[in-house]
Amino acid sequence: MAKPALLAMTAGICWGTSGLVMRYLSAYGFDAVEIGTMRLLIAAGVMCMVALRCPCGMRVELRQLPWLAIMGAGCLFFYSLCYVLAVQAVSLSLTAVLIYTSPAMVMLLSAMLLHEPLTRHKLLALTLTFSGCSLAAGLFPAALHYSWRGVGFALLAALLYALYAVLAKIQTQRADALTVTAWSMLFGAAAALAMVDIPHSLSILRAAPESLLWVIVIGLLNTALPYLLYTRAVGQGEASQAAMMASVEPVVATLLGMAVFHEIPGVWACLGALLVISGLWVMSRKRDSVRGAVSQRQEKEG
């Protein structure tokens, strides 16, 4: 498996564990906006400190700052906000499925803006992973409540997620992925602070100081690390492939639910997980075959 694909899959695994941490934080009384703000604050602080200690530093071109602000405030913070608003208006399963239209959006945006090829392998992998996510979320066998407002927020969240991948691909050609991620987190945290109820969050931390451990975990393991890995994956490979490989997230979430909360997935969820894994295998096989063909060509020319 190519390195960018492995980086994106690892990012998806980290994101897949975030639901577990969110449950613990929600039990303490934090709402979704507060959790989103705290995870961005922790991630921004850590990423900036790491970047300042590296040769790349925080140096970017002045013309990059508006785009990094869009990546942080728009693609990171407002993605989380749109997700919360979507869940409030429609079912969680429908929201999850609509969010997973993002790989298709990345694929189309990458083909139009980055001139990445739109191949049969990608379309097959996209079909498998989207169908798998739909089954894992419980969309097909369930009766759902629809709301155009909720559907709109969910699709906007998917678009913001897709836009992050495309912008990250462009910005990592001008600066190191670590620097790009640090600036994005910084702008995202600034936007989040403008909308959060700070006194309420501090009161919970004072009443339950042990909750700070989970705040640190969601900031480092579920935010800083996966976004850095995902940004590097996009910078080193194709944005469309990275988005597809990160779709391992719902499979990880399902497995964690089984292991920690003793949730028993149904037949549809198991079939969905198999479809997602099949889609990832198609993508990885496609990259391996291309790399092998290039190596053979080089050996013949040598």
Q: What is the pLDDT of residue 288?
A: 47
CA dihedral 31, 185, 247, 293 (to 10 degrees): 180
Is 16:260 a contact under the CB 8 Å cutoff?
A: no
CA 302 from chain centre, in angstroms, equals 41
CA dihedral sign of residues 89, 92, 98, 101:
positive
Residue whose pair of structure tokens reads 């239209």 in the numeric block? 101
Whole-angstrom CA distances from 83 to 100, 178, 230 are 12, 26, 20
Chunked mean pLDDT (size 10), the chain, 302 residues: 84 86 88 88 94 90 94 89 77 67 83 84 82 68 63 86 92 93 95 90 95 94 94 89 81 76 71 79 61 44 50
How high is the pLDDT of residue 116? Answer: 84
Q: What is the pLDDT of residues 207-236, one digit of tens each?
A: 999 999 999 999 999 999 999 999 999 999
Distances (CA, A) of 96 to 12, 66, 90, 250, 280: 14, 30, 10, 9, 18
